[in-house]
Amino acid sequence: MKRKLLYPAAAFLVLSVASYFGCDLASIPRSVPTDDGPRAAASPGEAPAGPSTIPDRTPQTLLIGSFNMQRLGPSKLSKPWVLEKFAHIIRSFDVLALQEITSQDQTTLDQLLRIVNSDGSQYAYTISPRIGRAATGYYEQYAFVYDSQRVVSGPQFAYVVQDQADLLHREPFVGRFQARTDLGQAFSFSLINIHTDPDEIDTELDVLAQVVASVRQFEYPEDDVLLLGDLNSAPGRLGQLDRLPNVVALIQAVPTNTRGSKTLDNVLIDRTTTTEFTGRSGVIDLASWFKISQEEALMISDHLPVWAEFAIVEQPTMTTAAAGSPAIRR
Amino acid sequence: MLSMEELQACVADPKLAVARVVELLQTLRSESEEMRAWAADALQQIECLPAANLGAIGPLCMDSYPVVANWACKMTSRIAGARSGAEETLLRTLTLHPHVEVRQQAAKGLGHMGALHPSTLAAMQTLLERGIDQTDARLARCIRRALQPQPTTPPGPCAP
């Protein structure tokens, strides 16, 4: 059955937007690293890093995460309290993959980033086209929001995976990033942002394993390809994704929904190539982080942000290090 | 139609969503995409519906508005008991609804219902033999999946 199912997936074509070609991310000059230390956080962020919060950003590390915003549209945009909380969450990350932007208004993220950047931050974003099926009644957009003082990216470095066989409800959105640092060879990576359909999870998780393979091939020689998003399933129930060699889900046995009952969101890395992972990852418990009730946290989203920390400079891969010739590869 | 506050209350409380399932389906007719999205979210929370809902939801599977029909099919596949009625409803939609995404959802719904009646299986096999692969590969996949041997009872909270 798997064979039958996956055969059409082999025909997955990962096509980029036209503007992708001719743009070499590595050619973008690096900026002077932020040497003013970790960003000063508002009171909730001052808590020590632990399983329910997030470490401070440092000049040596990058914080990458994923957050399902649960229907970011006019209703939430009309609630300043919610927008302030979104802004605080975004400012805690260097790169944050977002899911469930459902607003038809294409200025939604501009409005949100005005609040994010009101403290002098310089966050920017890349957003996908509206994705989904007409008969569900709505479409969603993915986005990557990133601190442009710490990371280089942009719309020319992003594309939607083409799903000509219509195997996925929402085709993944891929973005390429490179850290800005003078501490060494800047960490570069590609992120596959996904929001699976809970009703098609068995099929979609297997197809996503094919997507990871296709994107890795397409992104070569980039070897740091991470899959992150709302998988609607926990590690051990990720189908073929669980069986990808050396690929590990960084969020294990921790609920990622606001009600604290399910692990739905995750960050998956190849531990042999993404050796930049520092070993720290977790979930931000919005209720304890913001010191609000669960009911109030649910006004923000029914999902919690997940995060993982990475070295800002490239590290030797496990295979090259094991061979005794530590070489740094993109 | 439900208000935004009522929709969000249904999202937060699946029991309320069950009680207001027909109103949620009617809210999918809203011109506001955001209202439709929240209504869909609330419907997605429903894992199982009492058999008594079939009388109200079943006819909506053939609704001319595809969004309503699509979600009605999904809800029909989550009706506990009244299996033969739900199965007939979905098979009729799979065979007759003019919108392809609704037919796909009907096939998916049948695939989620567990063991199907031999006449349903035969009807789906006939659809496949008409060459659906050539016109709609996704619909053909949904039907093939529904044709695969299923557990004798529906899984999860809808199990009798």
Picking from B4, B34, B40, the nearest residue to A136 by CB comes out as B40
Q: What is the pLDDT of residue A311?
A: 98
Contact list in B for residue A137 (CB cut-off 8 A) is: 28, 33, 36-37, 39-40, 67, 70-71
Please tell me which residue of chain B has the smallest CA distance to A104.
B33
Contact list in B for residue A135 (CB cut-off 8 A) is: 66-67, 69-70, 99, 101-102, 105
Give residue-wise pLDDT tens across range A156-181.
999 999 999 999 999 999 999 999 99
Q: How many CB pairs under 8 A join A and B?
A: 67
Low-confidence ranges of chain A (pLDDT < 50): 1-50, 323-330
Return d(Cα A300, Cα A297) in angstroms, integer.
5
What CA–CA distances, in Å, run from B78 to A275, B105, B124?
45, 12, 20
Best mutation target, A108, A136, A230, to test chain B (most B CBs within 10 A): A136
Phi, psi of A202 (to 5 degrees): -60, -45
Q: What is the pLDDT of residue B135?
A: 81
* ipTM of the complex in this document: 0.89
- DSSP-derived 3-state class of residue B27: helix
* B8 has pLDDT over 80: yes
Q: What is the pLDDT of residue A17?
A: 32
Tokens of A315: 């590290």
Confirm or reject contact between A166 and chain B (CB < 8 A). yes
Give residue-wise pLDDT tens across range A238-271.
999 999 999 999 999 999 999 999 999 999 999 9
* Closest-CA distance of chain B to residue A174, Å: 24
**Contact flag A134-B12 (C-beta cutoff 8 Å):** no
Owner of token pair 């020689």: A221
| Per-residue H/E/C for chain A | CHHHHHHHHCCCECCCCHHHCCCCHHHCCCCCCCCCCCCCCCHHHHCCCCCCCCCCCCCCEEEEEEEEEEEECHHHHCCHHHHHHHHHHHHCCCEEEEEEECCCCCCHHHHHHHHHHHHCCCEEEEECCCECCHHHCCCEEEEEEEECCCEECCHHHEEECECCCCCCCCCCEEEEEEECCCCCCECEEEEEEEECCHHHHHHHHHHHHHHHHHHHHHHCCCCCEEEEEECCCCCCCCHHHCCCCCEEECCCCCCCECCCCCCCEEEEEECCCCCCEEEEEEECCHHHHHCCCHHHHHHHCCECCEEEEEECECCCCHHHHHCCCCCCCC
Please tell me which residue of chain A has the smallest CA distance to B45.
A198
Full-model pTM: 0.86
Please tell me which residue of chain A has the smallest CA distance to B63.
A135
Q: What is the pLDDT of residue B151?
A: 58
Picking from A75, A135, A203, the nearest residue to B34 by CB comes out as A75
Picking from A5, A70, A135, the nearest residue to B99 by CB comes out as A135
DSSP 8-class letter at B65: S
Q: What is the pLDDT of residue A68?
A: 98
Which of the pair, B134 or A174, is modelled with greater confidence? A174
Give residue-wise pLDDT tens across range A276-287.
999 999 999 999
Q: What is the pLDDT of residue A129?
A: 98
**Contact flag B4-A75 (C-beta cutoff 8 Å):** yes
**Contact flag A137-B137 (C-beta cutoff 8 Å):** no
Picking from B37, B67, B148, the nearest residue to A135 by CB comes out as B67
Q: What is the pLDDT of residue A29?
A: 34
Nearest to B40 by CA among A171, A5, A132, A317: A132
* B6 has pLDDT over 70: yes
Confirm or reject contact between A68 and chain B (CB < 8 A). no
> A186-218 in b/e burial notation, b at 16+ Cβ within 10 A?
bbbbbbbbbbbbebbbebbbbbbbbbbbbbbeb
Best mutation target, A133, A138, A300, to test chain B (most B CBs within 10 A): A138
Lowest mean pLDDT among A66-75, B92-101, B109-118: B109-118
